Amino acid sequence: MFSQCHILSHSQIPNTTLSTNFRLRAMAPHATPLELNRFAEVGNKVADAAGEVIRKYFRKNFDILQKHDLSPVTIADQSAEEAMVSIILDNFPSHAIFGEENGWRCKEKSADYVWVLDPIDGTKSFITGKPLFGTLISLLQNGTPILGIIDQPVLRERWIGITGKRTTLNGQEVSTRTCADLSQAYLYTTSPHLFSGDAEEAFIRVRNKVKIPLYGCDCYAYALLSSGFVDLVIESGLKPYDFLALIPVIEGAGGVITDWKGHQLHWEASPLSIATSFNVAAAGDKQIHQQALDSLQWK
């Protein structure tokens, strides 16, 4: 039964229900509305370019290579990232780019604007024919995510989060849902096998308290959360290109996303930046988020 967890219409959501992080980011000095619209327009073109490449290879035969960390990579990942980079540089030659496949690209050593790209978040899903992977696109201004896109090119679903605005799915505003208690929550994580040591024990503490634990959606789980179908996502070991795009999307839908200590997620991109790992907790409801943090007991 879903009686304890339900979606509010946007007319029912006062500004006070937006996460603290969302309000703080919205009030910070950012690009003008016209600039944000321009960034979103180009972001859509970037997602379109990646989608064209990805659909061409989806459920087709291709070589699967192995990166230094033993994770898989395909020609679709590599070609999609190059298509994305081309669109960005054509429109914003002074912007920097940090991509999962090829790292930092910029004419200068630093830039106010940095695009962080993951052409296929969920490569294992992609190579096994499961359409629950996604393309992640984020734009940072001085380290703060001001634009986030989660694109599912096979299902043709696109969530867009822009700082100070409501998140949309294919142009329609979406909202997270309220949930009375952790015991009523639907929890997603990509795989329980991705946790180890203390992180595994922390995850189990949360998993044992929720109504239903679910697995296997990569970034798509966060998209479902922003649309009010899921209450909680808990993951460990995410890289910056795995989560930066999620922040504007989730916060713009009324949700909360932090690390396991409740701290704001932040990563500075530069030529010397290392894509370090983060533990991420996202919830549609602030109360459920706090209950999850209390259960994680992460020190």
Binding residues: 100, 118, 120-121, 242
Cβ proximity of 160 and 249 under 8 Å: yes
| CB distance 298 to 202 below 8 Å | yes
Q: If DSSP states are collapsed to H, E and C, what string results for the chain?
A: CCCCEEECCHHHCCHHHCCHHHHHHHHCCCCCHHHHHHHHHHHHHHHHHHHHHHHHHCCCCCCEEECCCCCEEEHHHHHHHHHHHHHHHHHCCCCEEEECCCEEECCCCCCCEEEEEEEEECHHHHHCCCCCCEEEEEEEECCEEEEEEEEECCCCEEEEEECCCCCEECCEECCCEEECCHHHCEEEECCHHHCCHHHHHHHHHHHCCCCEEEECCCCHHHHHHHCCCCCEEEEEEECHHHHCCHHHHHHHCCCEEEECCCCCCCCCCCCCCCCCCEEEEEECCHHHHHHHHHHHCCC
Q: Are 223 and 248 in contact (CB under 8 A)?
A: no
Residue 231 · residue 254 · CB < 8 Å = no
Instruction: List 259's β-bridge partners, or say none.
Output: 280
Binding site residue list for Mg(2+): 100, 118, 120-121, 242
